[in-house]
Amino acid sequence: MKLYSVNLSPFAARVRLAIYAKGLPIEISYPPEGGLKCPEYLALNPMGKMPCLLTDGGAGVPESTVILEYIEDKFPQPSLLPASAEDRAKVRLVGRIVEMYLSPPGSVLFGQFDPAKRDQAVVEAQFAKLDEAMGFLEAAMGDGAYAFGDSLTQADCILVPNLFYLMAFSQAFARPGLMDGHAKLAAYLERVRRDPAAAKVWAELEKAYAHYAATGEFS
């Protein structure tokens, strides 16, 4: 079994976090030599996006949230979902808020990194959306050590990589007070970065982001 991944991708990072948390023997590899649009990769993932899981049977499983569910079904222990249907819904709600409200403005800001090409009105609008999304997250998160409960779940797998980019945006756009007014989220971030699997993914993202900042290349 193999995960096609690049470290800079927050979508691939969430799957790697799940793999590390479960201790799974899944190979993590860069895409084939021809890249995401080569015939070999498109045969596995016709959308030509990152990540994609290659199963032992040779099938491709694309889309990070689908891969997370596949991994949970295939390797149910240790579980990254709570026992009850109600609590599972709460975990999935955190992930959905990230997908729908936190990730989209982050994607826009990623395209505004170059100060020479920056549209300040666009930047202000996206930071307002990020602030709103952080409020949504705090309302959805539990009161345990993790995003929901006292152990790592799929909610953390989805949330942690996006919080890495929040911190990157805070630095790149000189917004040191980005977490102001979101004490619950800030405290969570400090705690979750001590989790071994989350810390490993965070370090991978840091290294890949530094490489991108220096060269403009994804890794």
- Please calculate the CA angle 75-36-98 and round it to the nearest 5 degrees: 55
Looking at residue 98, its pLDDT comes to 98
pLDDT of residue 19: 98
How many CB atoms within 10 Å of residue 188? Answer: 23
What sections of the chain are H helices per DSSP? 10-22, 39-44, 64-74, 85-97, 103-110, 120-140, 154-172, 183-192, 196-215
Residue 105: Cβ-neighbour burial (10 angstroms; 0-12, 13-18, 19+): buried
CATH number 1.20.1050.10 given to 85-215: yes
pTM for the structure as a whole: 0.95
Supply the pLDDT for residue 214: 87
For residues 5-18, b (16+ Cβ closer than 10 Å) or e, as one string?
A: bbbbbbbbbbbbbb
113: amino acid identity, one letter: F
Inter-residue contact 198 to 158 (CB < 8 Å): no
Look at residue 216 in the predicted model and tell me its pLDDT: 81
CATH number, domain 2-74? 3.40.30.10
Local confidence pLDDT in tens for the 219 residues of the chain: 999 999 999 999 999 999 999 999 999 999 888 889 999 999 999 999 999 999 999 999 999 999 999 999 999 999 999 999 999 999 999 999 999 999 999 999 989 988 999 999 999 999 999 999 999 999 999 999 999 999 999 999 999 999 999 999 999 999 999 999 999 999 999 999 999 999 999 999 999 999 988 888 888
Q: Where are the domains of the chain?
A: 2-74, 85-215
CA nearest neighbour of 16 among 156, 167, 137: 156
- Supply 24's token pair: 């799974």
Task: Please count the other Cβ atoms lying within 10 Å of the Cβ belonging to residue 128.
Answer: 11
In the chain, the N- to C-terminal Cα span, in Å, equals 21
**Beta-carbon-side half-sphere exposure of residue 77 (alpha carbons within 13 Å):** 0
